[in-house]
Amino acid sequence: MRLRDFLERFRPTGTPGAAATGVPPDRAAERAAELAPALARLTAVQQEAARIRAAGDADARAIRREAELEAADVVAAAREQAPGIRRQAAQSFVQDALREAEAVRAAADRTADAVRRRGRARLPALVDAAVAEATRPATGTGPRP
C-alpha cells in the first residue's frame, strides 16, 4: 500500500459539522473494478504469449537437433578426409626433403669430382716420384725415414 492511500483513510468524508452518514470511498475497489476488464483481456494475451513461447521452444529444439545431426555429419566427413589430408601434408614435407637430399647429393658429387680432378692432376707426379724411388739404387742402409 502506498503512503497516499494510507493517508486517504483519515480524510473526512464530508464537510465539518453534523455527522455524515456514509462510508469513505474504497479507492482500491474502484481501481480493481476499473482494471478488471483490461486485465481479463491480458489473460488471453498471456496465454497467446505462452503458446508462442512453447512453439518457439519446440522450433529451437528441432533446430538444435538438426544442427547436431549436421555437426555429426561434418565431423564424420572430416574424420574420413583426415588421412588423405595428412598424406598430402606429408607428401609436401617428403618432397621438400627429397629436394634437399638431391641438393646435398649434387654438392657431394661436385666435391667428389673436384677430388677426382685433383687426384688425376697429381697422379702423374706421384707415379714419377714412386718410379724414381723404386728405381733408385739401393744404398743398403734400409728404408728411408
Judged against a pLDDT cut of 70, whether residue 144 lies above it is answered with no
Q: What is the mean pLDDT of the chain?
A: 84
Judged against a pLDDT cut of 60, whether residue 25 lies above it is answered with yes
Scan for cell 480493481, then name that residue: 32
Give the predicted TM-score (pTM) of the model.
Answer: 0.40
Rg, Å, the chain Cα set: 55
Contact by Cβ (8 Å): 22, 14: yes
pLDDT computed for residue 31 by the predictor: 78
Judged against a pLDDT cut of 70, whether residue 113 lies above it is answered with yes
Q: What is the mean pLDDT of residues 44-55?
A: 92
Euclidean distance between CA atoms 36 and 112, whole angstroms: 107
Residue percentage of the chain with pLDDT more than 70: 82
Per-residue pLDDT tens digits for 56-99 = 999 999 999 999 999 999 999 999 999 998 888 889 888 889 99
Residues in the chain: 145
